[in-house]
Chains A and B, each alone.
Chain A
């Protein structure tokens, strides 16, 4: 899900939003506070968290990325790194979220079932269901709504889209907001599955989500799903058969392989530079 957000943003603004993983982190924390302090139920907490992160994402875009839209790609990337670091360290300040691990509350009982020799838990089912739901929703938005059309137009060419009367700035803000909401949802689900949360938890998932997005084809939405699935499977297999400490290394080994062999990803299109 983080991968979805990444891929969308990149497709439209050609920016690798490094801070995306940290929006995920904030999402998890917001849900934590919503549940712990405000006694909200899980679905409501998730919506609150998604709303909060949407706001966060749009703000980041406004403040940090928009001024650099005409600047070389690297400038924007460096700024994204800056935003990422800022979010991490700011949130570890004591008066914000604090640097320690917090236990994410699990508002329902864990039950497991067995089917065809594999153990399922209701957590996994919930995660899967929510992910599919959001994916379908996203596909609908992108392909069947006016805003979605606008997003696709902007992803091809900003200036032409502007000439067609599309307000490019709002579209980009919307995209960021949408991507951030997805990340927040991911954060909540993550919190349920792995109950320890802390301000730096977004780094690894963020990077791996990026790999997944690239693997599937950056800018292509179903690609993010394909990429994420492949990465997940590869990681689990490595943990099981080789060694769990090498797990992270595998993710990035895959990245390098993909970049070398087919940089546009499994489902992606090539984009060349005009000479």
Chain B
């Protein structure tokens, strides 16, 4: 069994795996009895795995199973499981043992709410008065005041998470861009991305061995850093074994996007002055929700996933497309009005692993298949800086003579900063690569591995491509017949 980075991933995986198993053996049901049976199988007891007792653990397993089995409520694929939330009883600022009970009392003097009490030569914070401004911590000469924040709130760069009256986490769907940072960071696994594994398995099953229609898997290049215990070609073999008709590189779509975006830059930059990339759905969502007036600066090129899906569908009108990647925001992207024709479902690498194991597909024993269409430049879209490198390549190859001044930002917090600078018209660049996840897609919330070696893996994988550059990789396609434009104007 492969190792997971955390128990949180493992529990999500266990539930998905069990549900897929039951679907394939025609024993899946959302009856109370069946849910109980699932939870007792996964939490056999008598000792609890991680929580206070097996009854709470089993109840949460049932909630997870229901979320996968039942249609999504509301629009956001990122959901809180209230029972799983630990209501982290955290006071943000606390005076620690390091307090010397000094005479200066800078903490007290600087507190705007008079929340610092000095007792027995030590400072204390009256949490009822504290407004979490942090001035006491900043001025303490002994660094004696600690700051702890709930991991969900800390992980959300756009302040979409708050606490409700019971201290349970709450997501503001109006602000949330579904990047999944909270999903990855909540140590209790209380925030989850809706899983579509069952829908995907049904889609494959109903294709009757790809005779009624064909189900294509579009695989994100971040896969290179995911399944380190098996070769990529074995993973592709495994994907075909699941029942997909054929696996195609999303990176080929990235080659198309690099070409299209390069020319978009050449044609529009004089008028726009600056533009951003559009391949990261969480970044685009951030722009739409916060800067609707600046959408004219966001690239109008579709994402690599949409580009390749539309190309596949142009070659095969019966095609259905499932995207496999490290991204939770893609689950939102495919529902958007102007691109919903492209991709039927998306699944994460975590979920792919669950399907492999539910079907007893042992990657190490799978005969190798191949995955090769894209160029090096398409494949490095998976890491921060890759889009910039790829567009730079196009600008050189196509002899575009506009001054190209790119910059790259990864992690939503940094994206927020640079967009603020851009909105004030003080940008020393004219091309912003924006990626919501730290490190780019390889740091995606639903990545199986967030290791430091991942970056090197992507470049190494890129260099294995047969095609040298994006122009070579896309030279057989008639791109004029494929719609590669976004229409942000529609109401979504």
A and B bind: no
